[in-house]
Amino acid sequence: MRLLCNCSASLPPPTSSLSPPKPPPILLFTTTTTNSLNWAHKTLIGALTGALSFSLLFSSPSSVALDSSLLTQSQPPPSSADYCRQEDQTEDRYETAPGLLTNEGIVDEAWEIVNDSFIDTGRHRWSPDTWLRKKEDILATSIQTRSKAHDIIRRMLASLGDPYTRFLSPSEAVFDITRVLFSKMARYDMTGIGINLREVPDENGAVKLKVLGLILDGPAHTAGVRQGDEVLAVNGVDIRGKSAFEVSSMLQGPNETFVAVKVKHGNCGPVQSIEVQRQLVARTPVLYRLEQIDNGDTSVGYVRLKEFNALARKDLLIAMKRLEDLGASSFILDLRDNLGGLVQAGIEIAKLFLNQGRRYVIYTVGRDPQYQKNIIAETAPLITAPVIVLVNKNTASASEIVASALHDNCRAVLVGERTFGKGLIQSVFELHDGSGVVVTIGKYVTPNHMDINGNGIEPDFQNFPGFKALKRLKRCCKPRFYC
């Protein structure tokens, strides 16, 4: 092989010689109030939810879920009109809750968020007892000004010793975060029409898909789709029973073509079929070529994945299928200098290689049960050929999820350097005065139960070992249940 077959050779250089920046924290966006921001600002924050993280798997309970939890089991299911009125009343209660708008109330609200969701990632400075004492000490005296309350929250969060857990002033929460990350939603838009979808339980326990965020003046917004709309069908196909990721894939298509989206506006609004013209912003992150080894007797597919954006899964699958059609019997997947991106895309890419059933892609660990997930492959693998994955110190986040999933499930050999070790999940919570707190609420654990954060993943080989190393995949021990 021209670049990769020499067993004593160093690894082939990635396409860029520049050292990429450190990966940013993975963010979830969670609001604890519904009306404290005007519509445009709420839409911006909503649109960011999940653009970089696990929103398709994890999201805070919506007002719909909160409403249904208020009903006793002895009550009959509410009518549609009653349900809409209940939701409106719930929003009013949030908006007018007087205790939370006092200075002490804002501090207590931030304290409660940490108490319920924060996970100590290794510094061991946090415990329920010490955190309770801190609250008692802080609230023992009157807090005279909102500025003083915000300073107290800053110091309170700083005492945790977690560099990612921090306070956001109202201007930072509304403008800075959205300005920095808004362009990334377009970059990671999985639909091509500028919306993100969330799976929301309805009053009967079923799941429906709602628009959790949309790009202002984007294709869907311009055509008439609105925040909170329920998606009913795509191109005439009923989407009941489908996941948010599946429906996002249905919405994709060639640039400037049209897709018909049937939506229900709000909880009680009219049903409308809307023609939306796709406008793709993301560029393909996949480069590939066919290499010949063994004097041309064997073909190997080389695929470089630069980032996990909205096109990553589709373009990677196309590349590998084309290489297989050209005769590739094994693959090299180059994840060097890939800092991650859309984590959900990483999960879906890992599933391409794994057998359905008890083949774990990744675990997430958190104190809140909604952040404790075991993610498995649900379908037969679309790619069965053996794989060598190239990694280095800048392989991070979603790249580490893919590398560990393939490695721990005996689907790939890892070659290169220890990976970066980015495995934390942060969530942004909005407080009732428009400020916010960013809190570390979870972390990733590999299928073999290794903590990624701060440790990275150790490769099997530092230098390219040759393709005979793939034979070890037949002898390796799969995670749990398979050993």
Crossing angle of helices 343-351 and 312-325, in 10° steps, is 30
Same domain, 99 and 139: yes
Helix boundaries (H) for 159-252: 170-171, 177-188, 219-223, 244-251
- CATH number for position 308: 3.90.226.10
**pLDDT value at residue 40:** 30
Write out the two tokens for 413.
Answer: 């050999």
Predicted confidence at residue 302, as pLDDT, reads 96
Q: What's the confidence (pLDDT) of residue 388?
A: 95
Same domain for 365 and 314, yes or no, is yes
Contact (CB, 8 A) for 195 and 216: no
Per the CB < 8 A criterion, the answer to whether 63 and 91 are in contact is yes
Q: Does 481 fall in a domain?
A: no
**Residue 306 appears among annotated catalytic residues:** no
**Is residue 392 within 8 Å of 400, Cβ to Cβ?**
no
Please indicate, yes or no, if residue 178 is contained in any of the structural domains: yes
Amino acid letter, residue 370: Q
Residue 10 lies in a domain: no
Q: Is 136 helix (H, G, I), strand (E, B) or coil?
A: helix
Choose, from 55, 59, 60, 397, the residue flagged as catalytic. Answer: 397
CA distances 149 to 82, 109, 141, Å, are 39, 11, 12
- Strands 26-31, 424-430: pairing is parallel
| Amino acid identity, position 206 | A
- Do 157 and 255 belong to one domain? no
Clarify whether 117 is annotated catalytic: no
Query: Based on the domain organization, do 273 and 298 belong to the same domain?
Result: no
- Please tell me the distance from the alpha carbon of residue 124 to that of residue 141, in angstroms, as a whole number: 28
For 434, half-sphere exposure in the C-beta direction (CA atoms, 13 angstrom radius) is 13
Number of structural domains the chain divides into = 3
| CATH code for the domain in which residue 257 is found | 2.30.42.10
DSSP 289-328: EEEEETTTTEEEEEEEE--B-TTHHHHHHHHHHHHHHTTE
**β-pairing, 436-445 with 166-168?**
antiparallel
Q: State the catalytic residue, choosing from 242, 351, 422, 443.
A: 422
Q: Which residues contact 88 (CB under 8 A, 6 or more apart)?
A: none
DSSP state of 380: -
Q: Enumerate residue ranges in the chain where pLDDT < 70.
A: 1-100, 122-124, 172-190, 216, 281-282, 358, 368-372, 477-483
Closest CA to 344 of 398, 394, 265, 291: 398
Crossing angle for the helix pair 128-138 and 103-117, to the nearest 10 degrees: 180
Q: Which of 226, 248, 277 is the last residue of a domain?
A: 277
Annotate 13-79 with DSSP letters as a single string.
PPS--SPPPPPPPEEEEEES-SSSS-HHHHHHHHHHTTSSS-TTT--PPPHHHHHHHTS-TTSPPPP
- Expressed as residue numbers, the domain containing 384 is 286-423+441-474
List, for residues 31-45, the tens digit of each pLDDT value: 333 333 332 333 333
Place of tokens 């000490």: 137
CA distances from 101 to 31, 34, 273, 432, 483 (A): 15, 14, 41, 7, 55
Tell me: do 335 and 462 sit in the same domain: yes
Residue 132: predicted pLDDT: 94
- Tell me how far the alpha carbon of residue 99 is from its chain's centroid: 33
Cα–Cα dist 46/99, whole Å:
25
Q: Same domain, yes or no, for 298 and 445?
A: yes
pLDDT tens digit sequence for 335-389 = 999 998 888 889 999 999 998 775 788 888 887 666 667 888 888 888 889 999 9
Residue 206 placed within a domain? no
From CA 462, how far away is CA 262, in angstroms rounded?
Answer: 52
Element (H, E) at 172: none
